[in-house]
Amino acid sequence: MKFTAGQIAEYLNGTVEGDPDVTVDDVSRIEEGKPGTLAFLSNPKYEKHLYTTGASIVLLSKGFMPAKKIRCTLVWVDDAYEAIASLLQLREEMKPRPSGIAGNAYVDDTAVAGDNVYVGHYAVISKGAVLGDNVIVHPQAYIGDNVRIGNGTVIHPGVKVYHDCIIGRGCTLHAGVVVGSDGFGFAPQSDKNYKKIPQVGNVVIEDHVEIGANCTIDRAMMGSTIIRQGVKLDNLIQVAHNVEIGRNTVIAAQTGIAGSTKVGADCMIGGQAGIVGHLTIADGTRIAAQSGVASGITEKNTTVQGSPSFLYGKYQRSYVLYKKLPQLFERLQKIEDELDKAKQSGK
């Protein structure tokens, strides 16, 4: 479907500079732009491509000052990154959605499905499960006993949701996600073996949560592991039993959060971070990539880095010294050599 620059500007409450009737039917990265596509610029490091791009339309944030003449039509918006996100979301919403229940899917007689539900090939909907309106369950997904899934949630292929778990409205679970597998609970015995502790809780995922591919969210030993509203999890994240992640927190790939830790709202956690168990992480905390958090963070809006982590500013200053350690060691050796020579000469 084609859209003109004028239509795009109207949808985004933006303004057109250039030909309002130029059309696009696809999007492209600004460095790979070609005729008939729309691109955007939000990161200054890509500005050089703005002057050479072949894209027909480019979204720019108001206040940006081009250094050269731009050949393509521009749509000026308040925030180019937010604008492209809105357009891409609109594009996704315009795609035809699947509907109906595939003949080779299994839906238990006691399961309840709302209006306009889709269940794909070889998916399993177990006894007592409840699917809200407009839920999409893609092929080969498994929905366990008594699971509840809210309106408009999308379950991608191969997702496994174990019994008694609850998923809210407007959520997206990408391929390979496992929700509600047992937490890592084993009691050491006198004979050095380990006795499994039954995990009798569940997982509660609130509304508008997105969970990336191959994440695992363990069920609670007792009570619930809770993912609050608006949380966004990247791929390959481990959330252990009885963890709670606060509203609108975002976590990058390969992060692990150990049992019973409470992560606050509006936090940002970089990739490959590790957080030990039974901690409290304050609202607004920022944890740099590859950090190891071994103690609680009580002050809101704190930024930490390192393993073990400590305040970001102190870490940066410490790292400057760390990089100089070889030079400092050489200087120390020279000083020791000079002192030895002085002693030998009797000075």
CA distances from 97 to 1, 6, 93, 100, 119 (A): 16, 28, 9, 10, 12
The residue from 138, 156, 174, 241 that is catalytic is: 241
Active site residue 241: yes
Amino acid at 99: S
State how beta strands 238-239 and 216-218 pair: parallel
Which of 21, 44, 43, 46 minimizes the C-alpha distance to 33? 46
**Contact 38/55 with Cβ under 8 angstroms?**
yes
Euclidean distance between CA atoms 245 and 55, whole angstroms: 41
**Contact 63/40 with Cβ under 8 angstroms?**
no
Q: Which residues are catalytic?
A: 241
